[in-house]
Amino acid sequence: MSDTDPQKSPAAHTPTVELTRQLIARQSVTPDDGGCQAILAERLRAAGFTTTPLRFGDVDNLWARRGTAQPVVCFAGHTDVVPTGPLEKWDSPPFVPTERDGLLYGRGAADMKSSLAAFVTAIEAFVREHPDHPGSIALLLTSDEEGVATDGTVRVVEWLRQREETLNYCIVGEPTSTTRLGDVIKNGRRGSLSGNLTVRGIQGHIAYPHLAHNPVHEAVPALAELATVVWDEGDEYFPPTSFQISNIRAGTGATNVIPGELHVQFNFRFSPESSVDSLKQGVHAILDRHGLDYGLEWSLSGMPFLTRRGHLVNAVTDAIRDETGCVAELSTTGGTSDGRFIATWCDEVIELGPVNATIHKLNEHVQIADLEPLARIYRGVLSRLLLAS
């Protein structure tokens, strides 16, 4: 069933599906917003929100809030998407929302325009029923999550901090579900620490190794040791810290030249059981023990964060159970998200969104039948956090 087929399923006409389609149609490849935030801001203003566009560098951000009291329940997400990849390999144009066999196709369908649509329709329904609700509802959006993430959520959080705008609870709309809606929520994420290692040798002719010094030969034992170290055992929420080499390069491309330098890129995804300092010290100790002549540049892109069972986790898991019958698993696996920035200013942060099986892939899609239930879950979280006595 194509997008232009007049006999669409009834589910395709629901408010959340229609708003998702509207957002998918906007070409918002990072860091471009493509006008998505303007669409959402207009809907929120009609629901009584004050909206504040925040542009940092080339990045569009949006802060919207309804109410002045606490607690503040914030929904957060991103309007930018990853590039499409080869257009000819898509079964339908990536920025033309297309329905086939109960699925809605398009770049950003799962990551994360359906979540944004569900945020807004959930808020609209909640406000219609409870126009004088206690507390406050907020929405934080960026167009810089899929890119370098320097002028997006991290800058908005700093802006909120300077204004002393407190956040009590935050739900990030990342696609966390694995096989069915609501089966997994993220109640934390591992930290990410990267290293760029240069091991120095002496370039020379391959036939005269005594006149050269091969940095590859020197580095391999140290790299092998780094790959086998048990950095920590993790804990009840986090898997053990992982060390992975992502890139190795050396040489001129000629087969008869001993390289003068070896370049290695590696990354730690680390639990709170390890610190940044302990990981750095461990790496340097191994490199030094192997007697390498090296330089090492470090880059920290995110610290681990965790939301333990409490008001937010309970509200989310209860809302999922009541809507789907699913008992949600708490998980901290996967990559980093903007939750790492929000967690520096908000004590309780979780991530919940649709099934993530096709995110960043060709023919990205989402189950149409999941979209209204997702909105009802978000609405249920609002009710539990703002209306509970």
CA distance 44 to 123: 8
* Closest by CA position to 165, among listed 77, 55, 54: 54
Residues 317 and 185: beta-carbon distance below 8 Å: yes
* Residue whose token pair is 């109960």: 102
From the list 60, 80, 124, 348, the catalytic residue is 80
From the list 124, 145, 218, 351, the catalytic residue is 145
Residues 207 and 354: beta-carbon distance below 8 Å: no
| Catalytic residue check, 80 | yes
CA atoms within 13 A on the CB side of 359: 20
| Catalytic residue check, 146 | no
- Three-state secondary structure of 56-87: ECCEEEEEEEECCCCCEEEEEEECCECCCCCH
DSSP for 140-180 reads: EEES-SSS--SSSHHHHHHHHHHHT--EEEEEE----BSSS
Q: Which residues contact 208 (CB under 8 A, 6 or more apart)?
A: none
Q: Which residues are catalytic?
A: 80, 145
